[in-house]
Amino acid sequence: MASDLVAALEALAQEKNIDEIYLLERLEQSLAKSYENVLNLEWDAKVTIDRESGEIYVYELVPIGEPDEETGEYSAFEEHDVTPKDVSRIAAQNAKNVILSIVRDAGRQQIFAEFSDRKGELVTGTVLQSTPDFTIIKIRDGVEAELPHFDTKRFQSERNEKPTNEHYRHNQRLKSLIIEVRDPNIVESGGRSENTRPSIVVSRTHPDLIRRLFEIEVPEIYDGIVEIKSIAREAGARSKIAVSSRENNLDPVGACVGPKGSRVRMVVEELRNERVDVIQWDENPRTYVANALSPAKVTNVLVDEDTHYATVIVPDDQLSLAIGKEGQNARLAAHLTGWHIDIKSASLLSDHSSVVNSLIDEDDEHEGNEDGRCEHVSPDGIRCRNHARSGSHFCGIHESVALGESASEERTGVDEDAAAQELREEEGALI
């Protein structure tokens, strides 16, 4: 019987990948409490299992000397052998439940130790079971994760990590993000232990899921050449990501989109056709806000650094596109940039053109020529796309034009002054 017990423990330890010594120590502690009750001992019991033969020995810990005056506890004990003749029979009767409990607790503790430092990682698993409140995903043999999708109105302490447009099938492969690893030793305030649920909690709605998917599909992001600056997501519907490049000659948006959109298409397919907009990040808040409202075309952006508000002026035919369905595009752009965005159409502001022009002039004076572009504006209101020359506000084409206009204004001013002087002299002569 003893040898069979040791053999069973070794098999369980190998199957569940648990340290055999730890399993034996836990079994000794559990059996000590059982024998203390069975033998009706006056003092505490101690159980020792021989590691080679599997023989079980039961000892009663009889205190020696006087107890401590402050704590009333004994510091020394004498072990009295009280091993019953049917020790193996009693152990066999109680060992099954004890061992199963030990194996379950040890496995959960091992999972916690392995995954507690892996929060934020992307894992791939298969769907085992789906209920109205959560889905169980198998990450690997012996390791399961929970994807919660509780009704948060009914269960306010729970969470919903499932996009509304997703439905899962048995054995379906699924990528998800680890967001929490529960400690199996913690008992909730309601008295429910976390042992009743998987230790690992994963999410399909977290914004970092998009970050990890792009790291897989875009080598430039994984290598750190292209950086994802910000992510705004409404899971299951639409997302926006802002990217920048550490190399001047590399287009970060093109790197993320890939040849014929192949890279971003893989991300969209994994997200069940969730729309993903990739925009270029910029240090200039005016340019950044304008890019964030893509695909809408923006006429001008007025920013207030103090209040962190941005007023965006768009053509009339771009107003609905800039706002988006139920305000989604504007909402995601505001979340992406961190600015409060107020979108106005050009016709709405036509009656207040003088106020708008003054705001634009003040904003241009505040911003200066930070974008490095030529400041020439055609009569149609289109700004030149060329870069300004060093030390100038204009490109090589329009610099001469600007200088010519300035010289013409100076000559006109001189001629007007001379004519006025001659007129005054003639009037004096007549008098």
Higher pLDDT, 141 or 381: 141
**Residue ranges of domains in the chain:** 2-115, 122-203, 214-281, 282-371, 374-416
Superfamily of domain 282-371: K homology (KH) domain (3.30.300.20)
pLDDT(402) > 70: no
pLDDT(221) > 80: yes
The whole-number average pLDDT for the span 74-83 is: 85
Least Cα distance to 352 among 323, 309, 313 occurs for 313
Phi, psi at residue 403, to the nearest 5°? -65, -40
| Level-2 CATH architecture, domain 122-203 | Beta Barrel (2.40)
Q: Would you say the CATH fold of 122-203 matches that of 2-115?
A: no
* Mean residue pLDDT across the chain: 81
pLDDT(198) > 70: yes
Q: What does the pLDDT read at residue 251?
A: 93
For residue range 91-123, list pLDDT tens digits in order: 666 667 777 777 777 778 888 888 999 999 999
Q: What does the pLDDT read at residue 334?
A: 95
Q: What does the pLDDT read at residue 400?
A: 65
Separation CA 383–CA 357 (nearest Å): 15
The whole-number average pLDDT for the span 399-406 is: 59
Least Cα distance to 29 among 102, 107, 103, 110 occurs for 102
Phi, psi at residue 130, to the nearest 5°? -130, 130
| Level-2 CATH architecture, domain 214-281 | 2-Layer Sandwich (3.30)
The whole-number average pLDDT for the span 325-347 is: 92
With a pLDDT cut of 90, the percent of the chain lying above it is 42
Fold of 2-115: N Utilization Substance Protein A; Chain:P; domain 4 (3.30.1480)
For residue range 138-175, list pLDDT tens digits in order: 999 889 999 999 988 888 888 999 998 899 999 999 99
Q: Are 188 and 173 in contact (CB under 8 A)?
A: no
Q: What does the pLDDT read at residue 181?
A: 92
Separation CA 267–CA 233 (nearest Å): 14
Query: What tokens does 323 get?
Result: 């706002």
Higher pLDDT, 385 or 64: 64
Q: Are 232 and 278 in contact (CB under 8 A)?
A: no
Q: What does the pLDDT read at residue 394?
A: 74
